[in-house]
């Protein structure tokens, strides 16, 4: 019986989205997209609720009427990325197509897609924080790094964010310096940090999860290669020439809205593929990071000098 490529495509699409949510260090940001409406394509709708404040209660007339405004804001996803792959029919047949294709797509996401999504999200958060005046420059030093980290923690605490609701994404170089600080060991605990339906065990400071991130994903700006221009055919991403290192990003856990949608996975069998006697896999990913304007104050970023 011919392989059901449509069912494979649906399965791949679901599993690939799950893989991003679980394996990206920024995967926790996707839990904030629960109320986002997505019907395919490059647009999403985010609910915007505005309510009036308290008023005096009158013993004769009762309650003052308040208003509630509920509407959806439409956002266009800025990152529209994709690739196509071919698996030669002599290497792959219907009996092992599912396993082989799943391995190829999983490795593609692990090595290329997930790092790029992380890099984009952290660089955008850093840019938004800098535009809002919520960033500073600092060269990590064992002697004062804990004090600098506390300064940033209490900076956003002073703007109304509870410590219990914060997350610290920290680059491994800064994390290495931090762990050498003699005062830190008395303050570190171990906590469970959930993302993508799984629980991770991470270190925490004052109950705030510390999420280490590889340095290559923690730059202030990137060039995302288009895959066709000379010098960019390998695709992927590289740090911008003027990029700074990001030491850490502290934010309220419910502030960044991470959107990652495998919009389409198309599978063509060798009889349908007109270019080659090969299985053809088309992969297209929309993703973005959105921070509502009224939550910009809940992000604080430390950049390298």
| pLDDT value of residue 153 | 97
Phi, psi of 288 (to 5 degrees): -170, 170
Question: Whole-prediction pTM value?
Answer: 0.87
| pLDDT value of residue 253 | 94
Q: What angle do helix axes 5-23 and 97-108 make, rounded to 10 degrees?
A: 30
Phi, psi of 45 (to 5 degrees): -125, 130
Question: Each residue of 140-197: pLDDT tens digit?
Answer: 999 999 999 999 999 999 999 999 999 999 999 999 999 988 787 778 888 888 877 7
As given in the structure block, the two tokens for residue 232 are 């960019």
Over the range 198-223, which residues count as b (16 or more CB within 10 Å of their CB) and which as e?
eebebbbbbebbbbbbeeebbbbebe
Distance of CA 247 to the CA centre of its chain: 17
Distance CA 16, CA 33 (A): 17
Distance CA 53, CA 12 (A): 47
Mean pLDDT of the region 250-267: 87
| pLDDT value of residue 225 | 95
Q: Tokens 């304007």 sit at which residue?
A: 293
As given in the structure block, the two tokens for residue 43 are 């647009």
Distance CA 173, CA 153 (A): 19
């Amino acid at each position: 019986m011919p392989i059901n490529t449509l069912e494979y495509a649906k399965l791949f699409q679901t599993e690939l989205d799950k893989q991003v949510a679980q394996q990206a260090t920024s995967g926790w940001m996707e839990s904030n997209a629960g109320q986002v409406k997505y019907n395919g394509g490059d647009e999403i709708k985010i609910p915007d609720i505005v309510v009036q404040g308290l008023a005096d209660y009158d013993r004769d007339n009762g309650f003052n009427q308040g208003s509630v405004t509920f509407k959806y804001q439409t956002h266009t996803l800025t990152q529209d990325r994709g690739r196509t792959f071919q698996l030669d029919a002599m290497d792959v047949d219907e009996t092992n197509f599912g396993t082989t294709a799943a391995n190829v797509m999983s490795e593609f996401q692990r090595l290329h897609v997930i790092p790029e999504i992380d890099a984009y999200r952290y660089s955008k958060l850093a840019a938004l924080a800098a535009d809002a005046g919520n960033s500073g420059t600092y060269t990590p030093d064992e002697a004062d790094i804990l004090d600098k980290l506390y300064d940033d923690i209490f900076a956003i605490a002073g703007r109304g964010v509870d410590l219990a609701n914060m997350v610290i994404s920290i680059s491994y170089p800064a994390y290495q310096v931090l762990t050498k600080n003699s005062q830190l060991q008395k303050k570190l605990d171990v906590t469970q940090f959930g993302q993508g339906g799984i629980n991770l065990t991470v270190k925490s400071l004052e109950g705030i999860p510390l999420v280490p991130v590889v340095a290559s994903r923690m730059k202030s700006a990137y060039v995302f290669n288009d895959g066709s221009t000379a010098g960019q055919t390998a695709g992927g991403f590289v740090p911008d020439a003027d990029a700074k290192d990001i030491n850490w990003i502290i934010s309220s856990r419910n502030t960044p809205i991470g959107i990652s949608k495998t919009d389409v996975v198309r599978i063509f069998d060798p009889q349908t593929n007109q270019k080659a006697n090969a299985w053809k896999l088309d992969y297209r990913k929309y993703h973005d990071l959105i921070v509502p304007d009224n939550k910009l104050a809940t992000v604080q970023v430390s950049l390298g000098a």
